[in-house]
Amino acid sequence: MNDQLKFLQQWFGRHAAVAHGLAAPVLVIAVLAMMVLPLAPWVLDTFFTLNIAIALIVMMVSAYMRKPLDFSVFPTVLLLTTL
């Protein structure tokens, strides 16, 4: 196994609470970086395809709910998928 991968696995094993707390800020910074930095066309195509697939999944799930409260996290899902 790669030395860097071993190091990361050991670090995340020891600092799981710190790494868990950094997940949201790192995600926000990554999203902002993708908005500012130029990306390769194939990366943009991949993200666009994933966006359409996730939108279709959310639409199908929300259409087939029996009760409105079955999908009560819809506003949160909608917010996260728009990022």
- pLDDT at position 1 is 58
* Helix-, strand-, coil-residue percentages of the chain, each rounded to 5: 80, 0, 20
- pLDDT at position 71 is 80
pLDDT digits 0-9 by tens, 23-72:
778 888 988 888 898 889 999 899 899 989 988 998 888 888 888 787 88
Same domain, 55 and 83: yes
**Can you tell me the distance from the alpha carbon of 71 to that of 53, in angstroms, rounded to the nearest whole number?**
18
Same domain, 76 and 63: yes
- pLDDT at position 19 is 67
Q: Is the pLDDT of residue 8 over 80?
A: no
Same domain, 51 and 66: yes
Residue range of the domain that includes 51: 38-83
Higher pLDDT, 64 or 11: 64
- pLDDT at position 42 is 94
Same domain, 61 and 82: yes
Torsion sign (Cα): 52, 53, 56, 62:
negative
